[in-house]
Chain A
Amino acid sequence: MIKEIALIIVSVVFVNNFVLAKFLGLCPFLGVSQKTSSAIGMGAAVTFVMTLSSAITWIVYNFVLLPGDANIIAKIFPSIRELGLIEVLKTISYILVIATLVQLVEMMLRKMAPALYESLGIYLPLITTNCAVLGVALLNTTDSPKHLGFLQATVQGFGAGIGFMVAMLLMSGIRERLALVNIPPSLRGVPIAFICTGLMALAFLGFSGMVQ
């Protein structure tokens, strides 16, 4: 059990890093990685939302969307037991779950940890449109190569968040140094950030094949 969980975490943090190998969550990755402090804040917020949304979307997927006896809606409308709602409602239900969750987290943080809330500022509402959050929810429930259990899905969400944070931290360290270097004017800003990300991704390719 512990071995399996450790494997999932190593796999999503290093081998299949969401930013560097799967191209998910690039907008906040480039937008918020100017300073190390904001990179950590954003990474923590994303990890939190990703873990929770993985857990909730897993429940939605297994008990509302999938056809079969476990479907809750099928108890009221029997015709859904055969087909399920997976084809038509997957995307909409996931994005609504994530949007609601982000709103809830925002309200909770404002009440319980005002200091953290202040430091996250604009990044919190932006998490709704972070494709890494929706991406991990979709990947958890594609059933390929195998159907994930509740714990595995949640751990994968948590690990993906940590992987996002690791990539952001590394990038912010590079960009803080890049600010002091003389770069050709046409490459300043986003282009050089992309090229650096490419080199980082090249380094992360070294992990490939370590875990399936």
Chain B
Amino acid sequence: MAEQNNLKEFTKGIFQYNPMFVLVLGICPSLAVTTSVKNGLAMGGAATFVLVCSNFIISIVRSFIPREIRIPCFIVVIAAFVTMVELLMKAYLPPELNASLGIFIPLIVVNCIIMYRAESFAYKNKPFASVLDGAGLGLGWTLSLCLVSSIREIVGSGTLFGLKVSESYQPASVMIMAPGAFIVLGLLLGFFNWRKLRKSEKSMKAVMKDD
């Protein structure tokens, strides 16, 4: 039973609570860095690290934090981990990748997903469950970043992971600029809404048939 619950804490972040397509949180970085799959993966990894660590620390110290000042406390914890990630990335990742992520790594501090999980999960749950929750949501976000960025990279620059998709394809570079990001995300959200609506319609019909 307990094991099943743990698994649920982890998988709910990927489908049921997918940060990008269901919760629609943290959209600023998800649009800005998704010009190529490599950027999307790096951003997702960094945010997942911060999410897991901050969830862990906050759920350990949650009984010492008074309710009134919990938000500043969360921010300080998150900012500390973001600084760590920033320094780690500067040390180990290629400089051009760092340059293309730019100010969006320090901006993880104000990413709504991390704040939201700290406030609504880690502040109320045990450390182990919080870590799983953070890992699940982080993975869900990374996967959605990969989806958006692969669409944008294939259509916008005709490559995937830097490899050419087709010789004859003329890339539509508007897709890797700002307007393309908004339109791709809008259409994807519309697609997921359409699937959800169709599912609920089907289940409605099944109920009607049973009657």
**Partner among A90, A142, A185, A191 whose Cβ is within 8 Å of the Cβ of B187:** A191
Query: Contact at B115–A131, with CB atoms within 8 Å?
Result: no
Contact status A205-B177, CB under 8 Å: yes
Question: Within 8 Å of chain A (Cβ to Cβ): is B171?
Answer: no
With A88-B83, A91-B109, A131-B107 in contact, is A201–B179 under 8 Å at CB? yes
Determine whether the beta carbon of B110 is less than 8 Å from that of A193.
no
Chain A nearest CB: distance from B161 CB in Å?
A: 23
Q: Is the CB of B110 within 8 A of A129?
A: yes
- In the assembled complex, the Cα of A202 lies from the Cα of B177 at a distance in Å of 9
Which residues of B sit under 8 angstroms from A139, Cβ to Cβ? 103
Nearest CB of chain A from residue B173's CB, rounded to whole Å: 11
In contact, A191 and B189 (Cβ under 8 angstroms): yes
> For chain B residues 74-128, which have a beta carbon within 8 Å of chain A?
75-76, 79-80, 82-83, 86-87, 103, 106-107, 109-112, 115
A194–B79 touching, CB < 8 Å: no
Q: Do A27 and B27 touch across chains, with their CB atoms under 8 A apart?
A: yes
Kindly specify which of B5-13, B39-47, B190-198 makes contact with the partner chain: B190-198
Instruction: Say how far A14's CB is from chain B's closest CB, in angstroms.
Output: 13
| Residues of chain A contacted by B110 (CB below 8 angstroms) | 95, 128-131, 134
Residue of A nearest to B87 (CB): A87
Q: CB-nearest residue of chain A relative to B30?
A: A23
Q: Are B28 and A23 in contact (CB under 8 A)?
A: yes
Q: A134, B178: Cβ atoms under 8 Å?
A: no
Q: Is the CB of B178 within 8 A of A21?
A: yes
Q: Counting CB contacts under 8 A, is A199 at the interface?
A: yes
Smallest CB separation, B209 vs chain A (Å): 22
**B174 touches A (CB below 8 Å):** yes
Number of contacts between A and B (CB, 8 Å)?
A: 126
Interface: A2 (CB within 8 A)? no
Contact of B186 among A129, A130, A198 (CB under 8 A): A198
Q: Which B residue sits closest to A139, measured CB to CB?
A: B103
CA distance A126 to B185 in the complex (A): 24
Partner of B109, one of A134, A193, A195, A199: A134
Q: Contact at A202–B79, with CB atoms within 8 Å?
A: no
User: Per-position contact with A for B49-92: 1 when CB-CB < 8 Å, else 0?
Assistant: 00000000000000000000001100110011011001100000
Q: Which residues of A contact B112 (CB under 8 A)?
A: 27, 129
| A185 to B82 alpha-carbon distance, docked (Å) | 39
Given contacts A24-B28, A91-B79, A91-B86, contact A195 B183 (CB under 8 A): yes
The distance in angstroms between the C-alpha atoms of A92 and B84, with both chains bound, is: 11
Bound-state Cα–Cα, A91 to B103, Å: 10
Counting chain A CB atoms within 10 Å of each CB, the highest count among B24, B80, B111, B190 belongs to B190
Complex-state Cα separation, A95 to B110, whole angstroms? 9
Chain A residues in 8 Å Cβ range of B185: 194
Tell me the smallest distance from the CB of A174 to a CB of chain B, in Å: 13
Known: A129-B112, A131-B110, A191-B193. A95 touches B75 (CB 8 A): yes
| 14 pairs of residues in contact across A and B, judged by CB atoms under 8 Å | A23-B178, A23-B181, A89-B83, A91-B109, A128-B110, A129-B112, A131-B111, A142-B103, A186-B194, A188-B193, A194-B183, A194-B185, A197-B186, A205-B179
Q: With contacts A128-B75, A201-B178 known, what are 17 further pairs, Cβ within 8 A?
A: A24-B107, A27-B25, A87-B87, A95-B75, A99-B71, A131-B28, A184-B190, A185-B193, A188-B193, A191-B186, A195-B182, A195-B186, A195-B187, A198-B180, A199-B183, A201-B182, A205-B174
8 smallest CB-CB distances across A and B, nearest first, come from: A194-B186, A198-B182, A186-B194, A198-B183, A195-B186, A191-B190, A23-B32, A202-B179
